[in-house]
Structure formats: structure tokens, C-alpha cells
Amino acid sequence: MPDLLSQVLALPGLPWIVAITFVAGLVRGFSGFGTAMIYLPVAGQFLPPVWAIVTLGIMDMVGPLPIVPRVWKDAHHRDLGRLFAGAAVMMPVGVAVLLIVDPSVFRYGVSLVALGLLAVLLSGARYRGDLRAPMVYGIGGASGFLGGVVGMPGPPVILFYMASRHGAAVIRANTMLFLIGYDVMILGVFWVRGLLVAPPMMLGLLLIVPNLLGNMAGGAIFRPEYEKAYRFVAYAIIAISAVSGLPFLS
């Protein structure tokens, strides 16, 4: 264990990884989203793609756990099952693609997905149609694939599932539970493929602390009357992180 800890503490870029972990938690704390879009572009500059996703999965899975019992009561469990079913089919496909592409392609993918989602959020565009069961399966599948290949399962859920006719509490509950479930599923897929090794797991556990501190700080400074300002700050930080992760700028 001491040797493993020493190996992790000697990782190049560790101060940057810790700093961006805190910033990602801070933004999540006052805006409710953005962890992967902020963390992965920077972490991907210093860590192999699988390691970046493993560390994100571990640290991001712990923070929301205390509120799971509360949101579970609000969830639409049939839709949640559909989202998970779609993700379970397509996530291994995404991971298979991740393992054959060059790390620079992963970095481009992470940054471009983050910038693409940011552009859509800024434009205010959303899907306005009706969501039937097959579409919910499809949203889960798209999220699973994106989560497997670039570690970002959120965009399909944010852009499409939030257009469902469920109430805000149900959509919030299903989205949060799905993203927590994604963390468990992606780590499970990595474990089955023999990719879940000790160093990134140890790093992920260490990053829980700055991530939680960031979440707590973000929650403490949040004021509902300044919500638009917080979103502007969140969008700006996401943009800076995503652009910094583009390989041609390194």
C-alpha cells in the first residue's frame, strides 16, 4: 500500500488533477452539473483515458450517495430501468471503441463533446417531442455509448430525457440515479475487461476529498437569486477546460 500511494503521489500533473477536481466539485455544487465536462479534458492531459474515467467514476459516485434514498422515492422506476437497459447494451461497445483509439482521439472526443453540449445549452435548444418507451431505451443506449467512449453519459439525458412529461422532481431523480448507476456500470465493465487496476482506483479514492470539498463550497456560496451568474461562470469554466484539453494546444 505505501508503494502504491507513493506511485500515485508521483504522477505527473497531480497538482493540476487535484485542482481541477476541486473546481469541478465547486461548479457541481453551485450549478448542479459539469463535473465530467470540467474534469476529463484536464485529467486526460495527464492520465490514460481509462484511468481518467475510473478516477471520475469513483470520486463522482460517492458525493451523491447520501441523497439516494430521498430521490429514489421520486424516481419513475420503469423509465429508469429503460435507461439502464439501453446503457447496458451500448456501454461495452463504447468501451471497445475507447480501447482501440489513440489517447489523443479520446482527448479530442472529450473536449468536442463538452463544447458541443455547451453550445446547445447556450442556444437553449431542447427536444420538444413526445418521449415513448423506445426513445427512452435509445437515450439510455446513447448515454451508455458516450459514457463508454469518452466518459460523458450526460448529454443525451440532458438534451432529450429532460424533455419528458414527467415533473421536475421525477426528471431530477431519474437523471441523478442514472448517472450514479452509470458510475457503477462503467467500473463494472472495466473490471470485467481487466482494466480496473489499483493506481487509478487509489487516485480516485484520494480525489474524493477535494471533490467533496468543492461540492460543499459550491453549495455554501450558492444563492438562488444569482442562478444566472452561476450558470455563466459554470459555462465559462467548462469552455476553458474543454479548450485546454484539445491536443493541438498542448
Within a 10 A sphere around the Cβ of 182, how many other Cβ atoms? 29
The mean pLDDT value for 235-240 works out to 88
| Dist. CA 158–CA 151, nearest whole Å | 15
> For residue 156, with 0-12 CB atoms within 10 Å meaning exposed, 13-18 middle and 19 or more buried, which class applies?
buried
Q: Does the structure show a pLDDT above 70 at 235?
A: yes
Query: Mean of the per-residue pLDDT values for the chain?
Result: 87
Residue 68 pLDDT: 77
- Hey, what's the cell of 235? 459555462
Residue 246 has φ and ψ, to the nearest 5°, of -65, 125
Residue 250 pLDDT: 59
CB burial string 74-107: b at 16+ within 10 A, e below: bbbeebbebbbebbbebbbebbebbeeeebebbb
| Dist. CA 26–CA 74, nearest whole Å | 26
Domain boundaries, the chain: 2-249
Residue 249 pLDDT: 63
Q: Does the structure show a pLDDT above 70 at 134?
A: yes
4 close to 198: Cβ distance less than 8 angstroms: yes
| Dist. CA 63–CA 65, nearest whole Å | 6
pTM (two decimals): 0.88
Tens-digit pLDDT profile for residues 139-149: 999 999 999 99
The residue that leads in pLDDT, 30 or 178, is 178
Q: Which helix (H) or strand (E) holds 208?
A: helix 198-221
